[in-house]
Structure 1
């Protein structure tokens, strides 16, 4: 698929089974979202977890009501079919990855759309900064850390981060740019020595793909929307669904609308 497809065209291709890859660099200019879907009796606690942890869990939209698969604030979206790949969790354990969740949908499910770092990549590229996962055509590397999230009810756990390498001057510029986008993770949470946040090997990410890091580059780490998946593992709801890491919900909302000047 060409990367200049509109969000609607992309979602149609996903529904038709014609696209199932990661969405980094796809449909540039439009907001991409992490997805978490939970039963209604777990939804209030998850909402409080998002509110307590806005860096990894910047909430953009919620289902209008339990069982409603639409997200009208973000476009003509059906959360059951419009993500390239889903993860299904049962009792906190990943049980399967599937291409759509239409047959798994229930009338008590509530969907949460959370901001994604793929949205601010556009701003980095516009400032002539290389985004390594885009230039190498791979999924962004993501890592579990030792950074504690603020607990909310049954939800707790460590933060997951995404990483992009930059030379020092470019890393400073990346911080300045991403600070303008708090609803898609905002400024990085760490740069430099990965061991300081509990990451032992950059070459073996927990999610996504490894990218090249040159000797004169610093790894720069952003809070990541895969964090809710770690919280799900801890909370162990009987049933939950998320996006597969890097396989995002692409919306009709423009990235430019999220910028804080």
Structure 2
């Protein structure tokens, strides 16, 4: 079974969401082992069709889990969840500018908002741990580092931008195993998009991530990069929509769906 070294790994999804609703702010890596985590992006209905097209065209970076209709704030992925309150932290955007970083967006919610929930690499981390693959960001007590790359996502109307990646240092002898484990979880971004030299994908300095926190590599570690759901958020920000709400990077919705590698691209219940 999964390792249980951290208390938050044993917290069930409903209890985790209740804690966040009460005001706890924490990045959700390492929480609720065995359950699917999701990114959140909410945009005005008039832009939803184009944003869905962007997600469908970029399935590695934006694996769609659910699209919630205009004004609604619940999802079948998480029974009883309130998408306005049950993530640890949010960001509110106006014309590409960050205007607020609340822990509750009820006062910012609008009846025309369509919400996209996409997969997150935090989902597969317990499977790496179970295989004995270390997670340096958890060892060091920080958020996973995320970077903009020189790879361009396939655009859709006004939505376009770079592919964003998350990075986890992996001991060289375990890189193939990490790739194999994550390959069978396409709903959580699947296998790595790049292994090795950060410069090859336009990352100048691993110590200066665009999102999250820097992580120290150990001797023998290789930087391994997975596509990241912040790609969708970046497309929304660059589009300078009149209004949008997103999760704060690293602060996810923890769903009630159990995560099991199956290779089908579907989320097993």
**TM bucket normalised to smaller:** over 0.9
1-structure distance, mates of 2:233, 2:70:
20
Say which of 142, 145, 161 aligns to 1:141. Answer: 145
Please state how far the C-alpha of 1:201 moved relative to its aligned partner. 0.4
Report the counterpart of residue 6 of structure 1 in structure 2: 12
Q: Is the 8 A contact 1:84 1:247 kept in 2?
A: yes
Aligned partner of residue 107 in structure 1, secondary structure: coil
Report the counterpart of residue 192 of structure 2 in structure 1: 188
Question: What pairs with 1:145-160 in structure 2 (closer than 5 Å)?
Answer: 145-160=149-164
Report the counterpart of residue 231 of structure 1 in structure 2: 235
Please state how far the C-alpha of 1:90 moved relative to its aligned partner. 0.4
Report the counterpart of residue 262 of structure 2 in structure 1: 259
Report the counterpart of residue 104 of structure 2 in structure 1: 100
Residues 1:200 and 2:204 aligned together: yes
Question: What pairs with 1:1-261 in structure 2 (closer than 5 Å)?
Answer: 2-3=7-8, 4-17=10-23, 19-63=24-68, 65-256=69-260, 259-260=262-263
Give the root-mean-square deviation of aligned CA atoms: 1.3
Structure 2: 5+ residue stretches without partners:
1-5, 265-269
Q: Is the 8 A contact 1:145 1:159 kept in 2?
A: yes
Structure 1: 5+ residue stretches without partners:
none
1-structure distance, mates of 2:215, 2:79:
33
2-structure distance, mates of 1:201, 1:239:
32
How many residues get paired? 258
Q: Is the 8 A contact 2:143 2:213 kept in 1?
A: yes
Please state how far the C-alpha of 1:12 moved relative to its aligned partner. 0.8
Aligned partner of residue 98 in structure 1, secondary structure: coil
Please state how far the C-alpha of 1:76 moved relative to its aligned partner. 2.1
Aligned partner of residue 101 in structure 2, secondary structure: strand
Q: Is the 8 A contact 1:61 1:74 kept in 2?
A: no
Q: Is the 8 A contact 1:75 1:253 kept in 2?
A: no
TM-score by length of 2: 0.93
2-structure distance, mates of 1:260, 1:21:
30
Please state how far the C-alpha of 1:215 moved relative to its aligned partner. 3.7
2-structure distance, mates of 1:5, 1:167:
29
Q: Is the 8 A contact 1:147 1:158 kept in 2?
A: yes
- Deviant stretches of 4+, over 3 Å: none
1-structure distance, mates of 2:99, 2:80:
29
